[in-house]
Amino acid sequence: MAETYAVINQKGGVGKTTTAVNLTACAALSGRKVLLVDADPQGNATSGLGVDRSILEQCLYDLLTDDSVLGPSAEAFNEVVVPTSIQNLSLLPATIDLAGADMALASVMSREAKLRQVLRAGAERYEVVLIDTAPSLGLLTINSLVAAQKVLIPIQCEYYALEGLSQLLEIIHLVQAQINPGLRIAGVILTMYDARTNLAAEVEAEVRANFPGRVFRTVIQRNVRLAEAPSYGMPAVVYDGNCPGSRAYWRLYQEVFGDAETSLGTRSESTHIG
């Protein structure tokens, strides 16, 4: 079974999709077979990889709501997965249908484990699976925590960065206790760092103090190339592989998919690429 990561923060605009798209692109460009699961009904990871949502006939929703007793078949899984323009990188896409998933799953058995069942149908072909999640703590996000082995938490270096974090950690704890005891926090990713402000440095210090040893050294700075890449349907690391944002994601990729225990550093070791 592939190593499965969920990129989670119930706050919107913290860089979940940018992180998911660029980390999976780095992994694929490094020769790993990668699946990006778009578990956000907004579908920004889907369009950010250049996949036209309007022509998709099926998406993750259809697999989640497959009512076979044992869940969807490998064939059904492979029918929904689409290739991307990046070699080795496949996508389990989201269309607006996915907005109905929380409702559709509300009354089914093991409703928190449907995504895990979906991934068991076909994800063993991949080395890395990364799930991009919606800005909510609804059933779809719980499913992502149940399906994942590791959690990546992007935190924006802005006011109220830690807002909602204790609630997220409680949910992670609950999922560990009830359904997925193997779930681990891979680490916190500091995003949207603006080196020109004192605020960003203060937030960074606060986050590192709150999560000693659990914040990745690499800090993702605000970068216009990261912001504009999605409108070209490309990850930044493909759109402009040498911009500061892309270089930061390459470093982050090494940290996340290298030996995380040793690479997680403290504030004094943080790495800013400007």
Q: Which residues bind a copy of itself (CB under 8 A)?
A: 69-70, 109-110, 112-113, 117, 142, 173-175, 177-179
| Cβ atoms within 10 Å, residue 10 | 19
- Considering the complex, state which of residue 161 and residue 175 has its C-beta at the smaller distance from a copy of itself: 175
133-169 b/e with 16+ CB inside 10 Å = b? bbbebbbbbbbbbbbbbbbbbbbbbbeebeebbeebe
Cβ at position 116, least distance to a copy of itself in Å? 11
In the bound complex, what is the minimum distance in angstroms from residue 113's beta carbon to a copy of itself?
A: 7
Least distance CB 58 / a copy of itself (angstroms): 23
Backbone angles phi, psi at 105, to 5 degrees: -85, -15
SS3 state at 91: strand
Q: Please provide the size of the chain in residues.
A: 274
Smallest separation, CB 104 to a copy of itself (Å): 16
Shortest Å, Cβ 75 to a copy of itself: 18
The CA-CA-CA angle for residues 241, 226, 18, to 5°, reads 105
Beta carbon nearer to a copy of itself, 17 or 117: 117
For residues 94 and 142, which CB has a smaller minimum distance to a copy of itself in the complex?
142
Nearer to a copy of itself, 113 or 260 (CB): 113
Nearer CB in complex with a copy of itself: 1/177:
177
> Tokens 């499913």 sit at which residue?
143
